[in-house]
Amino acid sequence: MPAQVVVVAGPSGSGKSRLCSRLAGEHGLPVVNLDDFYKDGSDPTLPRTALSGGAPVVDWDHPDSWVREDAVAALELLCRTGSADIPVYDIASDGRTGHRLVELGGADCVLAEGIFADEVVAACREAGLLADAVCVHNARLVTFWRRLVRDLRERRKPAWVLVRRGVSLLRHDMDVVDRARRAGCTVLTSEQAYQRISGLAAHRPA
């Protein structure tokens, strides 16, 4: 197997993307954003939820809002062949807007991050693809604030949706962490996860 997967799970806004960007820059590790495997907003199978004070909206935080099988297939293709075509999903547009080619480039670890990343742990383990799995978890209010600022800056959804969604996610922050722990992820702060994955990348044989 040319490469294996390091799963980076955690609540939305916990710092997964920032961590992976740092690791990619320092160790040359390719990154697959699993959130790009969301279903299109017009998909009738999308789950819905009622937010306090507003009309029902698509529940983008429910595992049924993305396609796990496609994500696992792309990771396996990347690890076995050295490259894979990954969709590009735009949250504000509720759909895929293109694609990009991800290549190993000589790396023997692939970072797979996303709010549903824990959902691929078992499949990657069974396929012999799993190198490690972590769940990034920081102070809940810090995560809430980072997520809200990011989502408002990127205009991902109307402000009222983002605020109500943020409050809901704050309440269920530990549910996401517990789900990742049950899937086999080690729960760590951002800095602890950085040290762990950096050590793994530095000591894996070529």
Cross-strand pairs, 58: 48
Span of 37-41, 149-153, 198-202 with lowest mean pLDDT: 149-153
User: 9: closest CA among 204, 128, 178, 152?
Assistant: 178
pLDDT tens, 68-95? 999 999 999 999 999 999 999 987 787 8
According to DSSP H, which parts of 65-129 are helical? 68-81, 121-126
- The answer to whether residues 66 and 37 touch, using CB atoms and an 8 Å cutoff, is yes
Cβ contact 31:111 at 8 Å: yes
pLDDT tens sequence across 164-176: 776 767 777 888 8
Topology of domain 4-203, per CATH? Rossmann fold (3.40.50)
Domain boundaries, the chain: 4-203
pLDDT tens, 42-58?
Answer: 888 988 887 665 667 77
pTM: 0.81
